[in-house]
Amino acid sequence: MLVGAYIHAFKLGGIYSTGETKKMKITQEHIRTVIGELVGLDALPAVEYLQDKQNVSEFIIAEDLDIEIHEMRNILYRCYEHHILVFNRKKDKKKGWYICYWNFNADQIPHLIQKLRTQKIKQLSERLEREEQNHFYMCQSACVRMDFDKGMEYNFHCPECGEVQQLQDNARTKEFLAQRIKELEAQETI
Protein backbone atom coordinates (compact mmCIF):
# COMPACT_ATOMS: atom_id res chain seq x y z
CA MET A 1 0.00 0.00 0.00
CA LEU A 2 1.50 3.31 -1.07
CA VAL A 3 1.03 6.07 1.43
CA GLY A 4 2.74 9.29 2.41
CA ALA A 5 4.94 10.81 -0.25
CA TYR A 6 3.33 9.19 -3.28
CA ILE A 7 -0.15 10.46 -2.43
CA HIS A 8 1.36 13.84 -1.61
CA ALA A 9 3.00 13.92 -5.05
CA PHE A 10 -0.31 13.66 -6.83
CA LYS A 11 -1.74 16.46 -4.70
CA LEU A 12 1.14 18.68 -5.84
CA GLY A 13 0.15 18.21 -9.44
CA GLY A 14 2.59 15.59 -10.62
CA ILE A 15 5.83 16.96 -9.23
CA TYR A 16 7.43 13.56 -9.70
CA SER A 17 8.73 12.58 -13.10
CA THR A 18 6.56 10.11 -14.99
CA GLY A 19 9.44 9.00 -17.15
CA GLU A 20 8.12 10.89 -20.19
CA THR A 21 10.58 13.76 -19.76
CA LYS A 22 14.21 13.65 -20.76
CA LYS A 23 16.30 12.16 -17.94
CA MET A 24 19.25 14.20 -16.74
CA LYS A 25 22.44 12.46 -15.64
CA ILE A 26 22.54 13.14 -11.91
CA THR A 27 26.02 13.51 -10.51
CA GLN A 28 27.14 13.47 -6.89
CA GLU A 29 27.93 17.17 -7.29
CA HIS A 30 24.30 17.87 -8.26
CA ILE A 31 23.10 15.99 -5.19
CA ARG A 32 25.61 17.72 -2.91
CA THR A 33 24.56 21.14 -4.21
CA VAL A 34 20.83 20.49 -3.80
CA ILE A 35 21.23 18.98 -0.32
CA GLY A 36 23.59 21.73 0.82
CA GLU A 37 21.37 24.57 -0.33
CA LEU A 38 17.96 23.18 0.61
CA VAL A 39 18.46 20.88 3.59
CA GLY A 40 22.00 21.27 4.93
CA LEU A 41 25.12 19.19 4.49
CA ASP A 42 24.35 17.25 7.67
CA ALA A 43 21.73 15.38 5.60
CA LEU A 44 24.23 14.28 2.93
CA PRO A 45 25.28 11.00 4.63
CA ALA A 46 21.66 9.86 4.90
CA VAL A 47 20.94 10.67 1.26
CA GLU A 48 24.14 8.98 0.07
CA TYR A 49 23.28 5.95 2.20
CA LEU A 50 19.85 5.64 0.56
CA GLN A 51 21.04 6.18 -3.03
CA ASP A 52 21.63 2.51 -3.75
CA LYS A 53 19.08 1.03 -1.35
CA GLN A 54 15.31 0.58 -1.33
CA ASN A 55 12.80 0.68 1.55
CA VAL A 56 15.23 1.12 4.43
CA SER A 57 13.84 1.58 7.93
CA GLU A 58 14.72 4.82 9.71
CA PHE A 59 16.04 2.72 12.59
CA ILE A 60 18.49 0.90 10.31
CA ILE A 61 19.64 4.17 8.74
CA ALA A 62 20.22 5.71 12.16
CA GLU A 63 22.07 2.65 13.41
CA ASP A 64 24.29 2.30 10.33
CA LEU A 65 25.17 6.00 10.31
CA ASP A 66 25.58 6.09 14.10
CA ILE A 67 23.09 8.93 14.56
CA GLU A 68 20.43 9.22 17.26
CA ILE A 69 16.98 8.24 15.97
CA HIS A 70 15.43 11.66 16.71
CA GLU A 71 18.22 13.41 14.79
CA MET A 72 17.83 10.97 11.91
CA ARG A 73 14.08 11.56 11.74
CA ASN A 74 14.72 15.31 11.67
CA ILE A 75 17.10 14.89 8.73
CA LEU A 76 14.78 12.50 6.88
CA TYR A 77 11.76 14.78 7.24
CA ARG A 78 13.74 17.85 6.14
CA CYS A 79 14.66 15.92 2.97
CA TYR A 80 11.06 14.81 2.61
CA GLU A 81 9.88 18.46 2.66
CA HIS A 82 11.72 18.94 -0.64
CA HIS A 83 10.78 15.47 -1.96
CA ILE A 84 14.42 14.36 -2.04
CA LEU A 85 13.44 11.33 0.03
CA VAL A 86 10.09 9.56 0.03
CA PHE A 87 8.72 6.94 2.38
CA ASN A 88 6.21 4.17 2.83
CA ARG A 89 4.68 3.74 6.25
CA LYS A 90 3.84 0.26 7.53
CA LYS A 91 2.54 -0.97 10.84
CA ASP A 92 4.82 -3.28 12.83
CA LYS A 93 2.76 -6.39 13.56
CA LYS A 94 4.57 -7.17 16.84
CA LYS A 95 4.63 -3.76 18.52
CA GLY A 96 1.80 -1.98 16.70
CA TRP A 97 4.03 1.01 15.83
CA TYR A 98 4.27 2.58 12.43
CA ILE A 99 7.69 2.33 10.82
CA CYS A 100 8.76 4.44 7.85
CA TYR A 101 10.74 2.84 5.04
CA TRP A 102 12.72 5.43 3.11
CA ASN A 103 13.83 5.72 -0.53
CA PHE A 104 15.93 8.24 -2.45
CA ASN A 105 13.87 10.11 -5.07
CA ALA A 106 16.41 10.73 -7.84
CA ASP A 107 13.70 12.05 -10.18
CA GLN A 108 13.29 15.12 -8.00
CA ILE A 109 16.93 16.31 -8.19
CA PRO A 110 16.68 17.81 -11.73
CA HIS A 111 13.54 19.73 -10.73
CA LEU A 112 15.26 21.09 -7.62
CA ILE A 113 18.34 22.10 -9.61
CA GLN A 114 16.10 24.03 -11.99
CA LYS A 115 14.21 25.61 -9.10
CA LEU A 116 17.44 26.73 -7.40
CA ARG A 117 18.76 28.13 -10.70
CA THR A 118 15.54 30.09 -11.26
CA GLN A 119 15.62 31.47 -7.69
CA LYS A 120 19.25 32.59 -8.09
CA ILE A 121 18.48 34.34 -11.39
CA LYS A 122 15.54 36.13 -9.77
CA GLN A 123 17.60 37.24 -6.75
CA LEU A 124 20.49 38.44 -8.90
CA SER A 125 18.10 40.29 -11.24
CA GLU A 126 16.48 42.05 -8.28
CA ARG A 127 19.90 43.00 -6.93
CA LEU A 128 21.01 44.27 -10.34
CA GLU A 129 17.86 46.37 -10.59
CA ARG A 130 18.52 47.81 -7.11
CA GLU A 131 22.14 48.58 -8.09
CA GLU A 132 21.00 50.35 -11.26
CA GLN A 133 18.26 52.41 -9.58
CA ASN A 134 20.21 53.61 -6.52
CA HIS A 135 23.39 55.44 -5.60
CA PHE A 136 25.46 53.89 -2.83
CA TYR A 137 27.86 55.51 -0.39
CA MET A 138 30.80 54.09 1.56
CA CYS A 139 33.66 55.32 3.73
CA GLN A 140 37.32 54.65 2.84
CA SER A 141 37.38 51.68 5.26
CA ALA A 142 34.32 50.13 3.57
CA CYS A 143 32.62 49.59 6.95
CA VAL A 144 29.03 50.06 5.80
CA ARG A 145 27.46 50.50 2.37
CA MET A 146 24.34 52.67 2.30
CA ASP A 147 21.90 53.87 -0.30
CA PHE A 148 21.16 57.59 -0.64
CA ASP A 149 18.25 57.64 1.84
CA LYS A 150 20.19 55.82 4.55
CA GLY A 151 23.22 58.04 3.89
CA MET A 152 21.03 61.11 4.41
CA GLU A 153 19.92 59.75 7.80
CA TYR A 154 23.57 59.59 8.91
CA ASN A 155 24.53 62.86 7.21
CA PHE A 156 26.84 60.83 4.92
CA HIS A 157 29.06 59.84 7.84
CA CYS A 158 29.88 56.20 8.54
CA PRO A 159 28.07 54.95 11.67
CA GLU A 160 30.99 52.58 12.38
CA CYS A 161 34.07 54.76 12.07
CA GLY A 162 32.66 58.29 11.62
CA GLU A 163 34.45 58.98 8.30
CA VAL A 164 32.73 60.90 5.54
CA GLN A 165 31.14 58.57 3.00
CA GLN A 166 31.79 58.95 -0.72
CA LEU A 167 29.67 57.96 -3.70
CA GLN A 168 30.63 54.43 -4.68
CA ASP A 169 31.14 53.56 -8.33
CA ASN A 170 29.15 50.35 -8.61
CA ALA A 171 29.82 49.72 -12.32
CA ARG A 172 31.90 46.62 -11.54
CA THR A 173 29.17 45.27 -9.27
CA LYS A 174 26.56 45.75 -11.99
CA GLU A 175 28.87 44.14 -14.54
CA PHE A 176 29.49 41.16 -12.25
CA LEU A 177 25.77 40.67 -11.57
CA ALA A 178 24.88 40.89 -15.27
CA GLN A 179 27.62 38.36 -16.11
CA ARG A 180 26.46 35.94 -13.40
CA ILE A 181 22.85 36.17 -14.63
CA LYS A 182 24.02 35.39 -18.19
CA GLU A 183 25.99 32.38 -16.95
CA LEU A 184 23.00 30.99 -15.08
CA GLU A 185 20.66 31.58 -18.01
CA ALA A 186 23.12 29.86 -20.36
CA GLN A 187 23.24 26.71 -18.22
CA GLU A 188 21.51 23.71 -19.70
CA THR A 189 17.84 23.70 -18.81
CA ILE A 190 16.36 20.56 -17.41
Q: Give the chain's mean pLDDT.
A: 85
Same domain? For 73 and 16 the reply is yes
Of 82, 90, 74, nearest to 107 (Cα)? 82
Number of domains in the chain: 2
Do residues 177 and 127 make contact, with C-beta atoms less than 8 angstroms apart?
yes
Same domain? For 24 and 97 the reply is yes
Rg, the chain, Cα only: 24
Which is more confidently placed, 5 or 128?
128
Stretch 32-55: mean pLDDT, rounded? 93
Q: pLDDT tens-digit profile of 150-178?
A: 999 999 999 989 899 999 999 999 999 99
Is position 121 within any domain? no
Do residues 156 and 165 make contact, with C-beta atoms less than 8 angstroms apart?
yes
Same domain? For 95 and 22 the reply is yes
CA dist., res. 181 & res. 112, Å (int) = 18
Which band of pLDDT confidence, cut at 50, 70 and 90, is reported for residue 26?
confident
Of 105, 119, 110, 163, nearest to 137 (Cα)? 163
Same domain? For 104 and 13 the reply is yes
pLDDT winner (highest mean) among 77-81, 94-98, 142-146, 186-190 = 77-81
Same domain? For 43 and 74 the reply is yes
Of 78, 77, 81, 83, nearest to 110 (Cα)? 83
Q: How many other C-beta atoms lie within 10 A of the C-beta of residue 42?
A: 14
The parent domain of residue 96 ranges over 5-111
Phi, psi values for residue 101, rounded to 5°: -110, 120
Is position 107 within any domain? yes
Which is more confidently placed, 69 or 15?
69
**pTM listed for this prediction:** 0.69
Is position 117 within any domain? no
Residues above pLDDT 70, as percent of the chain: 86
CA dist., res. 186 & res. 22, Å (int) = 18
Same domain? For 99 and 16 the reply is yes
